[in-house]
Amino acid sequence: MSQPFPPIAWDALLENDARQLIRLALGEDLADAGDLTTQAIVSADRRGAADVVAREAGIAAGVRIAGLVLAEAAADATWTPAVQDGTELQPGVVVGRLEGASADLLSCERTILNLMNRLCGVATLTRQYVEAIAGTKAAVCDTRKTTPGWRRLEKFAVGCGGGSNHRIGLYDAILIKDNHLAVAGEAGLTLSEAVRRARARYPQRVVEIEVDTLAQLEAILPVSPDAVSDALPDIVLLDNMSIEQLQQAVELRGRLAPGVQLEASGGVRLDTILAIATTGVERISVGALTHAARSLDLGLDWRGQD
């Protein structure tokens, strides 16, 4: 089980999310009156072209977004991407070209840029984390700390940056966290019993459990690597452990359950992730990929009118 969660693809579900966000964004800009400035000064019969251009270095993500914006706006215009998702961008690189009714291009400009800038920003920050641990066996993973409504899109952008996706939501995998254990523990439920119940109820799902001490980790591992247990998780999340604790956890797992993956989590930063990766954990979850990414600067350069 090298990567237990499938990567987020640009599929019908993701496109539906994008279209819903686009409709909201267009409504914010145009409401019932439309683009007043453009209506006042731009002739309806004017046609032209404009390029979406990178103003700074980064990673492309969501290059299809512009075409969806035009479609949702019923714009008399087309979008031709010049790069693919995951492409490294340098200042001045053309991401794609818009052509059509000048008024429609002007009215859609900000919505296109807001969406693309955000996704490129997530991909760019992810790439920085991935490059920081190059040469180790650890994967950089996202979390559910995403912008509401943007989850699939932001997780897609993580993939564009070379990161790995975690579960999408509460519905597609099991992650037994400290608050689950706090509530269930009131009835005397142990960590092993919690895993056993989850495994029995959803045998086809990935089962992960969070621990914050080495004693908790040892309690859910078998007494020997040959022991068979129906309470063995697929992944153990090591929450806010020190480098020394992570090293001890990897050694303990290696002796008792080498098939179980270990995931480090909690306050991971660019300046700390390499030390974490060299402990031997397989996965490092980084909430900052989505909750702390800043938008990449893309702009619209007008290329002339017919």
pLDDT digits (tens, 9 = 90+) for 89-117: 999 999 999 999 999 999 999 999 999 99
Q: Which of 47, 64, 145, 197 is catalytic?
A: 145
pLDDT class of 177 with cuts at 50, 70, 90? very high
Under 8 Å between Cβ of 225 and 256: yes
110 is catalytic: yes
Region 292-299: what's the mean pLDDT?
A: 98
Exposed, middle or buried by CB within 10 Å (0-12, 13-18, 19+), for 250?
Answer: middle
Distance CA 256, CA 245 (A): 16
- Measure Cα distances from 8 to 68, 131, 156, 172, 209 in Å: 18, 20, 5, 13, 23
25-68 pLDDT, tens digit each: 999 999 999 999 999 999 999 999 999 999 999 999 999 999 99
Q: What pLDDT sits at residue 295?
A: 98
116-160 pLDDT, tens digit each: 999 999 999 999 999 999 999 999 999 999 999 999 999 999 999
64-84 pLDDT, tens digit each: 999 999 999 999 999 999 999
Q: Which of 51, 72, 85, 210 is catalytic?
A: 210
- When comparing pLDDT for 274 and 304, which is higher? 274
- Measure Cα distances from 30 to 22, 23, 26, 150 in Å: 12, 10, 6, 21
178 is catalytic: no
Region 247-274: what's the mean pLDDT?
A: 96
Mean pLDDT over each residue of the chain, to the nearest integer: 95
**Six token digits for residue 305:** 């009118």
Structural domain boundaries of the chain? 12-129+293-305, 132-291
Q: What pLDDT sits at residue 225?
A: 67
Q: What pLDDT sits at residue 303?
A: 92
19 is catalytic: no
Q: 22, 42, 18, 19: which is closest to 111 by C-alpha?
A: 22
Topology of domain 12-129+293-305 in CATH is Aldehyde Oxidoreductase; domain 3 (3.90.1170)
Sheet with 139-141: list strands edge to edge: 139-141, 283-285, 261-265, 235-239, 207-211, 174-176
pLDDT of 1 strictly over 90: no
Select the CATH number that applies to the domain covering 132-291 from these four: 3.90.800.10, 3.30.420.40, 3.20.20.70, 2.10.109.10: 3.20.20.70
Distance CA 78, CA 41 (A): 22
Distance CA 31, CA 104 (A): 15
Q: What pLDDT sits at residue 135?
A: 96
155 is catalytic: no
Distance CA 239, CA 263 (A): 8
pLDDT of 231 strictly over 90: no
pLDDT of 222 strictly over 90: no
pTM (two decimals): 0.95
Q: What pLDDT sits at residue 3?
A: 78
pLDDT class of 228 with cuts at 50, 70, 90? low
Neighbouring C-beta atoms of residue 98, cutoff 10 Å: 27
Q: Which of 85, 104, 109, 239 is catalytic?
A: 239
239 is catalytic: yes
**Six token digits for residue 161:** 């940056």
Q: What pLDDT sits at residue 229?
A: 72
| Dihedral pair phi/psi, residue 304, rounded to 5° | 120, 170
